[in-house]
Structure 1
Amino acid sequence: MTDAVRPHAPARSMADNASVAPLVAIMARLRDPVDGCPWDVAQNFRTIAPYTIEEAYEVADACERDDMAALKDELGDLLLQVVFHSRMAEEAGTFALGDVVDSICAKMIRRHPHVFGDGSGGPGSWERIKAEERKAKEPDPSALAGVALSLPALLRAEKLQKRAARVGFDWPDEEGPRQKIEEELAEVVEATDAAHVEEEIGDLLFAVVNWARHKRVDPEVALRAANAKFERRFRAMEAMAGDGFAALDLDAKEALWVRAKRGGKPPKG
């Protein structure tokens, strides 16, 4: 096994990875406590984490728009986040970028024995090996252990449900979660105060995610598409109305909405 894939390689300098050496050097300069940028020097893992999440979403957005120029830029921004975190870790003496690369290379090889090993297991080995690794390092014995609290709520709901399903806690078919939506919707209507309404709407959203999972629909992808459709139609309404859109009454706006759904065509008759 080469140095690039050793699972327990000693810590290396970030500059060892020549392909990102210029970026590594820039980050080292920015983090220099004497001559660096005060903002960059002041950051820590917690303050940078929101930027890391934001950059990941911007990568996803570029992919959604099939914008390769934007994707190139956004991947660079995301790579900067990896280098930033790794630089701070190196300063703390815990790990460096080379260790990050070693770790992911070892993981990819370990989880693909059907490619890099003896050919056994098949693609399904990924989840089994991942579960074994999680069990070995996670003191929490729950099937739900390790589902990050920082995940977007929609994604975390889906992951929690999938984990529960792996140990047999799941509806046998899609009819169960569909009926659960009706039940939760009724409970929203019956809720008597703001806190109760919030709780029941949360339960309703959770049930919708569950139904989407049984329908084999990614709820995040579905909601992103719905957002895009709403934005597209709303902008079409604004374009048809011109500067007077905000002053229109609701009936007029609804008529524009119907036209926007029809591609801008007025109703027949």
Structure 2
Amino acid sequence: MNSRSTQLKAIDRLLTIMEELREQCPWDKKQTLQTLRHLTIEETYELGDAILDNNLEEVKKELGDLLLHIVFYAKIGSETNDFDIADVANEICDKLIHRHPHIYGDVKVEDEEEVKRNWEKLKLKEGKKSVLEGVPKSLPALVKASRIQDKVAGVGFDWEEPQQVFEKVQEELAELQEEVNDANQDKIEAEFGDVLFSMINYARFLKVNPEDALERTNKKFIKRFQYLETKAKEMGKSLQDMTLAEMDVFWNQAKKEN
């Protein structure tokens, strides 16, 4: 691994390049915080894909893309005298020191869970009115549900045992089935949401990241379906012309390979 001085030189090089691009490149000159926003979200998802694929070379590249965005935002902030990269770095350093009194102070903690509880208490002392205040409104619903549950658990609002959560899942499934039987679409949607919320909560108790688990299944399904498409093409058939029984044969083959 590179030395600290080499790492700092690389960051300094990136800052210099960013300054040059902002001054000389027509595209880079035009960018604002608002125009970069959707690109940053896209880069974050690309990093997530690389992590799920365990492709460390791609992880390195995508981290570089995200680092560029951070430097880009800081450069724009410096042009309006609102903040620069030093302000950004010092802000997070100060926050980390303040929120880790068990490292930088005299607080004693027993385990990871106590660290999380202290973290939420400190955030409330900083002036936040709700432990849920920091959950971004624009998060995808599945990720948002997971973050909500993490945060309320941090202040003790939680189940005690996984079995209790599983029983809640079963209870919500039964309530969903009742509404399905009554054919009330609005209530079906509400109960379906409750089922998903309880399943995400159960995932937390099983130490499973629900977003990662679902994306893993998405990738698996894509591979199997594309195998099915390939086999149909080899037979000179389209999927529309095949019976479910024929498709099932290739689907089972795909399951063995993927």
User: Which TM-score band applies after superposition, normalised by the shorter structure?
Assistant: 0.7 to 0.9
Question: 1 or 2, which has the higher helix percentage?
Answer: 2
Residue type at the aligned position of 1:209: I
Contact 1:187 1:200 in 2 (8 A): no
What TM-score, normalized to structure 1?
0.76
Distance 1:174 1:152, change over 3 A: same
What TM-score, normalized to structure 2?
0.79
Residue type at the aligned position of 2:244: L
Q: Does 1:180 align with 2:178?
A: no
Higher deviation after alignment, 109-118 or 170-179: 109-118
| Distance in 1 (alpha carbons) for counterparts of 2:51 and 2:229 | 27
Q: Does 1:97 align with 2:85?
A: yes
Which runs of no fewer than 5 residues in structure 1 stay unpaired?
1-16, 265-269
Q: CA deviation at 1:206?
A: 1.6
| Distance in 2 (alpha carbons) for counterparts of 1:167 and 1:122 | 16
| Distance in 1 (alpha carbons) for counterparts of 2:128 and 2:155 | 18
Contact 2:75 2:84 in 1 (8 A): yes
Q: Does 1:208 align with 2:199?
A: yes
Q: Does 1:31 align with 2:26?
A: no
The answer for the alignment partner of 2:252 in structure 1 is: 258
- The equivalent position to 1:133 in structure 2, one of 103, 122, 145, is 122
- The equivalent position to 1:230 in structure 2, one of 203, 206, 221, is 221
The answer for the alignment partner of 1:246 in structure 2 is: 239
| Distance in 2 (alpha carbons) for counterparts of 1:181 and 1:119 | 41
| Distance in 1 (alpha carbons) for counterparts of 2:249 and 2:167 | 37
Contact 2:43 2:62 in 1 (8 A): yes
The answer for the alignment partner of 2:5 in structure 1 is: none
What secondary structure is seen at the aligned counterpart in 1 of 2:57? helix
Q: CA deviation at 1:159?
A: 1.7
Q: CA deviation at 1:76?
A: 0.8
Q: Does 1:192 align with 2:192?
A: no
| Distance in 1 (alpha carbons) for counterparts of 2:81 and 2:171 | 51
Residue type at the aligned position of 1:131: E
Aligned length: 243
Contact 1:31 1:41 in 2 (8 A): yes
Residue type at the aligned position of 2:210: P
Q: Which has the higher contact order (CA 8 A, sep 6+)?
A: 1
Q: Does 1:51 align with 2:39?
A: yes
